[in-house]
Structure 1
Amino acid sequence: MTTVLKLGGELLDSAAAVQSAASAIVRLAARGPLVVVHGGGRAIDAELAARSIAPRFVDGLRVTDEATLDSVVAVLAGRTNTALVAATGAAGGRAVGLTGADASIGMSRKVATFITAAGARVDLGLVGQPAEGSMALLHDLLGLGYIPVVASIGIDSDGGLLNVNADTFAAHLAARLNAAELVIAGATPGVLDANGNSIPELSLAQVDSMIASGTAHSGMIAKLEACRRAVAAGVSGISIVNGRGAADYRAAAGTRIFQVCGAGSLP
């Protein structure tokens, strides 16, 4: 069964970090078909700073104008994707670099108006919400033993590029591929409670409560919303883990998310 792995940009912010991630990717791919989706937030922020553009976020989603989108595409589709594919190849994996624009993988609709957790209505700009898309290329690559490494860039029906949150994109692909697992790897040990302690398991009801109460905030809101969609689509093994130095992302410290707590565990 297929696993979808999302790598946060904080796990790819140096050559050594990319090499570590690549080694973990190869080990995970040895267990079965694997699709990797990556972000690149820190590198994007650095690129924006070099262009004297101030980043803006709403509930963990990047507000994206044309100048920001140009930086997003340059970083994700260019430097980050290429570096990760090269490192995965050097580690012994058969990686293929892609973006959501390839073969309609990431067909998306522009988010018209985003409603925040607090109920405010915000225009995010050139930000997309994944639509149906085509999984044919991913199925073909997986069938041939390749590891698709996908940058989280979407494309609309007119061929326009859109910035798609990597957590959202990974959850969408997991659902569309009928994946058995979705692993979201970042730099924190899963979902934290109000006291900063890692929560081993969360039900969907608890996810909703954390968002409504403000315990979950910033980027964690986008992660939890993505996980909720994946659970609803039937993805049974979902985890948000600390990927820093992890040799095995599936066993890393973090939070497992279920429809109802205690409903299962990662196989």
Structure 2
Amino acid sequence: MEEELAGQPTSNQPPGHPIVVKIGGSTLGSHDTSLKDLARLQQEGREVVVVHGGGNVISQWMQRQGLAPRFVGGLRVTDAPSLEIVVAVLTGLINKELVSSMHEFGGRSVGLSGIDGSMVEAKIGNPELGFVGEVTTVNVDLIRSVLDSGYIPMIAPLGFHVRDGSEHAGSPLNINGDTVAGELAYALEAEQLVFLTDVAGVMDGGGRVIRRLDRRRAGILSNSGVIQGGMIPKL
């Protein structure tokens, strides 16, 4: 992280074009320096937006409640009991731990979710996944206000169902964090979109890291099953 971001000159960032960073649940580990690096970027005058995950912690809490985590195409199946845990863990436990850690490292951060400020509107695309949303609309007004106030928005990847008159209208939805990060980066016209994860990168069939990947090759690798699981939404 430090080599990729923290060493860049402050003057290189175009005004109003933040860096959007997606951090995974591994960032909660005691030996990860990502939050410290992000705090340093802020201290250097960079605008940073963070979208966080927390899948491992969600799975742990589900198992404590006797629920078995299930995934389809790298996305978590979220039924009604699971949704309560997802919302509580992402917005309550993980989000506040990350904000607290950011403050410890000298950063200034505000904890949010995609529900706040009508930030992320979505709809249920695949009923097999339950309360999992596909993003339809993004509103970044709240994010810009937080950035203008000198804080890092720390965003939990939730959204609310479009108000379409259906039984789910206005309900919270679980949304893949990589997808949320990508949508926000596009809406914010971000300078960079960075995915921080505990794996080296996208691997080929021989287990080697692919340094550069275009859309065509990504499609081939995905269709052949080489790219699978949680790497699918990143691409």
TM-score, L = length of structure 1: 0.76
Partners of 2:95 and 2:133 lie apart in 1 by 20
Is residue 100–residue 150 contact of structure 1 (8 Å, CA) maintained in 2? yes
What's 2:153 paired with? 148
What's 1:213 paired with? 224
Distance of aligned partners of 1:57 and 1:50 in 2 relative to their CA distance in 1, 3 Å threshold:
same
Matches within 5 A, 1:158-197: 158-197=169-208
Equivalent residues, number? 212
Give the superposition deviation at 1:173: 0.4
Specify every segment of 5 or more residues in structure 1 that has no aligned partner in the other structure, as ranges: 114-121, 225-267
Q: Which amino acid aligns with 1:57?
A: F
Q: Provide the aligned C-alpha RMSD in A.
A: 1.4
Partners of 1:3 and 1:21 lie apart in 2 by 14
1:108 aligns with 2:122: yes
Partners of 1:161 and 1:103 lie apart in 2 by 13
Mean CA deviation greater in 32-41 or 127-136 = 127-136
Q: Which amino acid aligns with 1:174?
A: A
Instruction: Among all aligned residue pairs of Structure 1 and Structure 2, give the percentage whose two residues are the same amino acid.
Output: 39
Is residue 25–residue 53 contact of structure 2 (8 Å, CA) maintained in 1? yes
Specify every segment of 5 or more residues in structure 2 that has no aligned partner in the other structure, as ranges: 1-16, 164-168
Give the superposition deviation at 1:195: 1.1
1:134 aligns with 2:139: yes
TM-score, L = length of structure 2: 0.86
Cα-to-partner distance string for 1:86-126 (whole Å, 9 max, x where unaligned): 11011111100000110011111122x3xxxxxxxx61110
Runs of 4+ in structure 1 off by over 2 angstroms are: 27-31
What's 2:104 paired with? 90
Cα-to-partner distance string for 1:136-190 (whole Å, 9 max, x where unaligned): 1101111222100000111123321000000011101011111121101111011
Partners of 1:110 and 1:27 lie apart in 2 by 38
Give the superposition deviation at 1:11: 2.2
Cα-to-partner distance string for 1:7-46 (whole Å, 9 max, x where unaligned): 011222x4x257x332022123335211000010000000
1:50 aligns with 2:68: no
What's 2:7 paired with? none
Partners of 1:17 and 1:174 lie apart in 2 by 27
1:68 aligns with 2:49: no
SS in 2 for 1:132: strand
Partners of 1:17 and 1:146 lie apart in 2 by 24
Partners of 1:187 and 1:153 lie apart in 2 by 22
What's 2:3 paired with? none
Partners of 1:69 and 1:55 lie apart in 2 by 12
Is residue 79–residue 131 contact of structure 2 (8 Å, CA) maintained in 1? yes
Partners of 2:106 and 2:198 lie apart in 1 by 25
What's 1:233 paired with? none
